[in-house]
A = this chain, B = another copy of it.
Amino acid sequence: MADIRSLRDAVADLVRSGDTVAMEGFTHLIPFAAAHEIIRQGITDLTLVRMTPDVIYDQLIGAGLVKKLIFSWGGNPGVGSLHRFRDAVENGWPRPLELDEHSHAGMANRYVAGASRLPFAVLRGYRGSDIPDRTDTVSTVVCPFTGEELAAVRAVNPDVTVIHAQQADRQGNVHLWGLTGVQKEAALAADRVLVTVEEIVDELQPRPTGITLPSWAVTAVVPVPDGAHPSYASGYSVRDNDFYQAWDPISRDREAFQTWLKENIHDRSADR
């Protein structure tokens, strides 16, 4: 059963240095507040998993907490590059970043295999691409019925998955709606599941397109209003596109980034 906890305690308990951590949310419901708490607590040597690293991982990478990134598209959506990500890959600053790079279809199926507790998933993918040359998590299998060769991707099973949702009830059942991306799979693939929510409600009202994660499939729930900002929570907020655009000059410059980090993360407490 999920405990309802503070962000500080939940992150300290569930996320550990050296962990493989997935923080999912496809543009929508990205768990920024939890990432900021990881930065404040200096939890490091992380292997991060995410289809679209987005600004959230640019921040963690720039903070020097990440040793490896498993991903499929690393840009600032609608804006351009993730400069902290590029600086780490191209220049090893502030530390070298190992990559395990996939296509979206491959990453989605790695989570599906993880949630299904299968060691791999099968897809029509990667054919003719150079991607498999650079990873040991893409291979092939032969269909035992037709003889056709297909791509196989290795399951991903994070130590902990962090997601943001709109609501939980007091028992820790979680409800999210709108674009729900790959969150169900990412959560069910993990050993521990931390969910930040916009609010705790007395009774969940299932919504169209909504998915419910029952309390017994969640480790901890943390109320964090606006915890997805500058991403958004459908029904609660809109995407702060200005922030995504403002991130470009901040992240281009190491000093500007470090100033931003100090002022906006380290000097702010997680007391919400």
Contacts and interface: CB of A to CB of B under 8 A. Distances in A.
Interface of A: 116-124, 137, 139-146, 148, 150, 152, 154, 206-210
B137 A119 contact: no
A188 to B, nearest CB: 15
Contact of A145 (B123, B139, B206): B139
A119 B147 CA distance: 9
Contacts of A141: 141-142, 144
A167 to B, nearest CB: 13
Contacts of A150: 118-119
A152 to B, nearest CB: 5
Given A145-B152, A154-B145, A122 B124 contact: no
A144 B148 contact: no
Closest 9 pairs (CB-CB, A-B)? A206-B208, A139-B144, A119-B143, A119-B146, A145-B154, A120-B143, A144-B152, A119-B148, A141-B141
A194 to B, nearest CB: 25
Nearest to A113: B122
A230 B209 CA distance: 29
Contact of A120 (B119, B121, B122, B206): B122
A39 B142 CA distance: 41
Given A122-B122, A123-B118, A207-B208, A144 B140 contact: yes
A152 B140 CA distance: 15
Given A141-B141, A145-B137, A121 B122 contact: yes
Contacts of A206: 208-209
Nearest to A148: B119
A124 B117 CA distance: 9
Contacts of A154: 145
A139 B209 CA distance: 36
Contacts of A117: 124
Nearest to A153: B145
28 contacts: A116-B123, A117-B124, A118-B122, A118-B123, A118-B124, A118-B150, A119-B143, A119-B145, A119-B148, A119-B150, A120-B122, A120-B143, A120-B144, A120-B146, A122-B122, A137-B145, A139-B144, A140-B144, A141-B141, A141-B142, A143-B152, A144-B152, A145-B152, A145-B154, A206-B208, A207-B208, A208-B208, A208-B210
Contacts of A140: 144
Contacts of A148: 119
Contacts of A118: 122-124, 150
Contacts of A122: 118, 120-122
